[in-house]
Amino acid sequence: MSNFLIIGGGVIGMMTALQLADAGQQVTLVERSECGQESTWAGGGIVSPLYPWRYPTAISQLSRWSEGAYPTLALRLLEETGIDPEYRQKGLLYLDVDDESRALEWAREMGKPLKRVDSRFVAQKEPQAAASERALWMPTLGSIRNPRLAQALMARLSAMPEVTLHEGCEVKGFIRQAGAVIGVETSQGPHYGEHVIVCGGAWAAELLATLEIALPVRPVKGQMIAFQTPPGLIKRVMLKAGRYVIPRADGLVLAGSTLEEAGFDKTTDAQALALLKQSAEAIVPALAAHPIAHHWAGLRPGSPDGTPFIGAVPGYQGLYVNAGHFRNGLVLAPASTHLLVDQLLGRKPVIDPAPYRLEGRLA
Ligand SMILES: Cc1cc2nc3c(=O)[nH]c(=O)nc-3n(C[C@H](O)[C@H](O)[C@H](O)COP(=O)(O)OP(=O)(O)OC[C@H]3O[C@@H](n4cnc5c(N)ncnc54)[C@H](O)[C@@H]3O)c2cc1C
């Protein structure tokens, strides 16, 4: 029996496993399909909420901590696994923002470098960007290639003697004993743990519903496309009117994303493709000359205001949750997993855990 049993091998489950194993704990992780293939794979990998000044403080706190942790984490994974998660801190350009004053005030309060820049500055940084009268520049932000991040995490976990991974292992329900949760029933038989941690992303609510716990997490579909361009066409993430382009080192340029309430449906459609293409070309007109190499959809774990649920499940000894990161699970992962691991190991939490607790937030 492991000390810790984690359900779900997305970025949240895998980073939780990594930190527990780093602390010398025995960890079992069970994943229904393959690790890192759901929202964690489908996301864009911007290491920031899209327009961070429009989010609650609870999200800014996690994000700020994570942004500081990513460079070291990416280097560590590259060194330990040989897989480069492509963390690139090239800064972020916000084109035509209509709440600039609010953004600048937020940046002052948060101690973030953010400044107003003109069209000449934008053209210097990104010669292919559409002409833009007003822009904001955040030099410290970056992006991560999330499928590679997942591969690197998986490779690292597979090599750690403290970690046991079970893929193709679907959790069907919880095993209880005298009011405590002590394990799970799965498609591969029972697994036990002193602490059971639900990191099931968009499926976390379905899992908890088997215990009649109403976690307000729902799937929110996001479609994205990727253009194949010569490497270096653009160098950094750019946002305009709520949509964005993200360059990868090999020349892929991702463009996203839609926000759709469609249940667990992950199909893509031509209308979304046309919309995403149009938005991307409004940011970088030269993209029109390049083919679209990929089009996909993923399911974000949506929560009411995007604040994840992190902590013990009230009334169920031994049961914990880390889910509901909505549009920001990649950026928030290092901090939110650290915060839960702090609580599990009785360490002083890196930030105040109160805003993320489940108490008073269940439906
Ligand atoms: C289009 C799009 C763009 C995005 N862009 C960004 C971005 O730029 N920046 C950012 O920070 N975030 C972004 N996100 C959000 C981010 O991807 C998610 O918030 C994050 O990946 C959630 O991670 P997770 O581990 O909670 O969920 P997931 O990655 O979905 O992992 C949950 C895992 O649990 C497993 N599971 C579920 N049920 C069971 C079961 N019964 N038994 C066993 N295993 C189970 C699933 O198979 C899955 O592997 C984006 C998301 C999308 C869809």
Q: Which residues of the chain have pLDDT under 70?
A: 1-2
Ligand 1 shell residues, CB under 6 Å: 7-13, 30-33, 37-40, 42-46, 170-171, 199-203, 207, 222, 224, 256-257, 298, 300-301, 323, 325-331
DSSP 8-class letter at 233: S
**Nearest residue (CA) to ligand 1, atom 21:** 40
DSSP string, 251-316: SEEEEE---B--TT-----HHHHHHHHHHHHHH-GGGGGS-EEEEEEEEEEE-TTS--EEEEPTT-
**Nearest residue (CA) to ligand 1, atom 22:** 329
Which phi and psi angles does 10 have, rounded to 5°? -85, -170
State the pLDDT at residue 179.
86
What's the CA-to-centroid distance between 297 and ligand 1, angstroms?
11
State the pLDDT at residue 1.
58
pLDDT in tens, 21-68: 999 999 999 999 999 999 999 999 999 999 999 999 999 999 999 999
